[in-house]
Structure 1
Amino acid sequence: MEPAGFGQDRTRQGWIMGHLCSLLATALLVMSLVQGASTSQNQAVSGKQLVSGRIFSGQDAKDGAWPWQVSVQRNGFHICGGSLISESWVVSAAHCFAPSVANSSYRVQLGEKRIFGQTRLHAFALVKRIILHPRYDNVTSEADIALVELKNPIAFTATISPVGLLDASVRVPAGDTCWVTGWGNISPQKNSSLAETLQELEVLTINSTICNDHFREALQKPAGDNPVKDDMLCAGSVEGYKGFAWGDGGGPLVCKKDGTWYLAGIASWFLTTTLNGVTRVVPGYPGVYNRLNAHNDWIKANVPGVTFIRSSATPSGASPSAIILLLPVFLRLTLCPPPPFLDWVPIPHQPFLALGAARSCHL
């Protein structure tokens, strides 16, 4: 993606008005979509309660609920999420790692729902090496995926175990009920604090064509210029913003198929706007994830013995009514043009050199 669509500082007092029409018109549809689809899927989520609200708009995770979730830390500070995929490997986002920083500066915390300091050394694993995808593009966020090899293999326990990986032949359907987890900001403002306890949030996946149309209009891109690339998927809400934030980058989007959790995506980027010097996530736009199984050949070439979940059926399919409802929701949104002053932001926690005058990339 060319940065011109979001690289200028064009803040406006009245940007909220650009969303009122779409938000009011779709509120009832979205409520019925979330309630109907979530209710039908609730019993497949191991007895978890429905999310109704904050990893903002989520809720505190229970002990051991997400045993593959890790905190990626640099110099002792949380910067990103990640997922354990074997006893020696973690997958995260490429934008979480600076090539100039030594591997020894990184570590991962495993098996805990709170982020601990040096007093809990048993919860940490040192990093042997970090492999960024060779096609990673920090402008478009294509191939925003990294493999982290741990210095020593991890023993699996009730609270530490790997997540399944999906075969490349299977596509996550629109309207599927999935979960995103992380310790990122609990407020849509950039400078808000990290969550003290791991947050979980139920989200719906969104058709990529519809999502692309929505983002293209927001970023004032011409037809055919797709912000959501082939190796990405959208999930979240078009009512306000419920999804990942700064500090959640690299974390998992997981879905369930036949009792097995699989890693559908890696938290990658979202839209922001700056008003009166305050940068916030733009409501009404879902989060965008790297679609992990688009890179299975690369994963297999680097992770020994990795296996993938195969299925001839659509994984964890949502009800037809949920999928049908998504289309009018997004078609209605396109009738009320969103503001043209948006930023496209990869989402770890600590800032580094911005690309362009007003585009913020945050490590």
Structure 2
Amino acid sequence: MRIMVQKQGATKCGLAEVLLLLAVLLIGRGTCTYHYGYNPCEEEEALSRGNPVIRSKQVCGRPTALNRNVGGEDSVAGEWPWQVSLMKMGKHVCGGALISNDWIVTAAHCFQQNSSPSQFNVLLGANKLENSWPHKLSIGVGEIFRNPRYAGEATSGDIALVRLAQPVRFTDYIIPICLPAANVHFPPGMKCWVTGWGDISEGQDLPAPKKLQKLQVPIIDTQTCRRLYSIDTGDNMPPKSIQDDMMCAGYAEGMRDTCKGDSGGPLMCRMNKVWLLAGIVSWGEGCAERNRPGVYIRLTSYQGWIRWHIPDMEFIQPSQGHIKVKNIGAGRTDGMGPTFFVTALLLAVWTLNRILA
């Protein structure tokens, strides 16, 4: 009888240990790790509620740094990790946004028609232009693609793609921004942000150490923007037209706006915890003038053109309160992720121990 009890005990302990080990392994697999702005916990949470979330192959639009000084103008390091400086012969000329590990998007007017890529380099991971910030990375330009529709100031097609000479490695300070699908709508009144190292007023440079500036601006509907630009046009100045591939953001009263040097920079809107590139700084009349809000190229108008040059580029669609993108992995049963199976397994272990006790 004593030997039989020992054997039963051995069997009980062995089975329980195996099940507990499996539980630990599954828990380890289900651990949520925050990595370059992506938190898989949010995905598991959505799955447990039955909402499908398909993971993107690239992490975008989720900075790890958060600036709690909402009303300030200075940005903190890592707050806008897709912001780049386009430099010509070592001097800042335009802003831009990183959209993958080897592409940036900026304004077409930042380049002459015959611009040579060898004249330019792209500065990434920078918050201040004039310092020895250890996270900064300067990379040469491989190719420049100006949109063929662009025909000069205030015309359509003021968008350009720049392929970096070599891919970059993502860090907490270098992350791409997400591109919205063509049917994503940014409604009037939506509060978005624009960033850049441009002049702080017309003709006045950003003072040293040239810290990245940010400004919150509301989206203005196209009809209202066209009406504003028709006010006080003057006798010698034909009114500039707001085209369908343009969008406006800013304030009718002026005072706050982008300026020279901000061109090509991102207009960013946050949807469902992800930052989307809504527009590209294009033009305006003066800086922060009354009835002259900033005009941006609408990124959703150029999905086809971008995909032509970058076939594997992803465009995301916020859906049902979560981000839904191209499916690149195996699916899982809705509502039955790792958490469900771990709970069931632990319950089985507890029940078995009670039976064999």
- TM-score, structure 1 as length reference: 0.65
Residue in structure 2 matched with residue 290 of structure 1 by the alignment: 297
Give the whole-Å Cα distance in 1 for the aligned partners of 2:104 and 2:149.
Answer: 19
Matched, 1:303 2:310: yes
Q: Does 1:49 align with 2:74?
A: no
Residue equivalent to 2:128: 114
* Distance in 1 between residues matched to 2:204 and 2:109, nearest whole Å: 19
Tell me how many residue pairs correspond in the alignment.
255
Q: What is the aligned partner in structure 2 of residue 190 from structure 1?
A: 203
Q: Is the 8 A contact 2:106 2:161 kept in 1?
A: yes
Residue 249 (structure 2) pairs with residue 249 (structure 1): no
**Alignment correspondent of 1:236:** 250
Distance 1:230 1:313, change over 3 A: farther
Cα displacement (A) at 1:137 = 2.1
Q: Which runs of 4+ in 1 moved over 6 A?
A: 117-121, 313-316
**Which amino acid in structure 2 is aligned with residue 288 of structure 1?**
V
Match of 1:125 among 116, 126, 139: 139
Q: Secondary structure at the match of 1:217?
A: coil
The structure with higher relative contact order (CA 8 Å, sep 6+) is 1
Does structure 2 conserve the Cα–Cα contact (< 8 Å) formed by 1:243 and 1:287?
yes
Alpha-carbon distance between aligned partners in 2 of 1:314 and 1:190, rounded to the nearest angstrom: 43
Change (3 A) 1:217 1:96: same
Matched, 1:260 2:267: no
CA drift of 1:140 comes to 3.3
- What one-letter code is carried by the residue in structure 1 that aligns with 2:203? K
The correspondence for 2:83, drawn from 69, 80, 83, is 69
Counterpart secondary structure, 2:285: strand
- Residue 136 of structure 1 is matched in structure 2 by 150
Verify: 1:82 aligned to 2:102, yes or no: no
Say if 1:106 and 1:127, in contact at 8 Å, map to a contact too: yes
Query: Displacement of 1:122 after TM fit?
Result: 5.8
Deviation at 1:293, TM superposition (A): 1.0
Query: In 2, distance between residues paired with 1:315 and 1:180?
Result: 24
Cα contact 2:179–2:276 (8 A) shared by 1: yes
Instruction: After TM superposition, give the deviation of residue 130 of structure 1 in Å.
Output: 0.3
Q: Distance in 2 between matches of 1:121 and 1:60?
A: 18
User: Following the alignment from structure 1 to structure 2, what is the Cα–Cα distance between the partners of residues 60 and 207?
Assistant: 28
Question: Residue 26 of structure 2 aligns with which residue?
Answer: none
Q: CA deviation at 1:243?
A: 1.7
Distance 2:79 2:206 in 1: 23
Which of the pair has more CA radius of gyration? 2
Q: 1:315 to 1:92 in 2, by over 3 A?
A: farther
Q: Which residue of 1 aligns with 2:56?
A: none
C-alpha separation in 2, matches of 1:50 and 1:133? 35
Q: Find the aligned partners of 1:228 and 1:307 in 2 and give their Cα distance.
A: 28
CA RMSD of aligned residues (A): 2.6
Where does residue 170 of structure 1 map in the other structure? 184
Q: Which runs of 5+ in 2 are unaligned?
A: 1-64, 324-357
The CA deviation at 1:123 is 1.4
Q: Secondary structure at the match of 1:229?
A: coil
Cα distance in 1 between the residues matched to 2:288 and 2:189: 23
User: Structure 1 residues 119 and 234 mapped into 2: Cα distance closer, same or farther (>3 Å)?
Assistant: closer
SS in 1 for 2:318: coil
Match of 1:209, SS state, is helix
Alignment-derived partner of residue 336 in structure 2: none
1:60 aligns with 2:74: yes
TM-score by length of 2: 0.66
1:273-284 to structure 2, matched below 5 A, reads 281-284=288-291
Output the CA distance in 1 between the equivalents of 2:193 and 2:146: 25
CA distance 1:182–1:122, shift in 2 (3 Å): closer
Indicate conservation of the 8 Å contact 2:268/2:276, yes or no: yes
CA displacement at 1:110 relative to structure 2: 0.2
Q: Counterparts of 1:245 and 1:106 in 2: how far apart (Å)? A: 21
> Is the 8 Å Cα contact of residues 256 and 288 (structure 2) preserved in structure 1?
no
Q: 2 CA distance for matches of 1:71 and 1:157?
A: 17
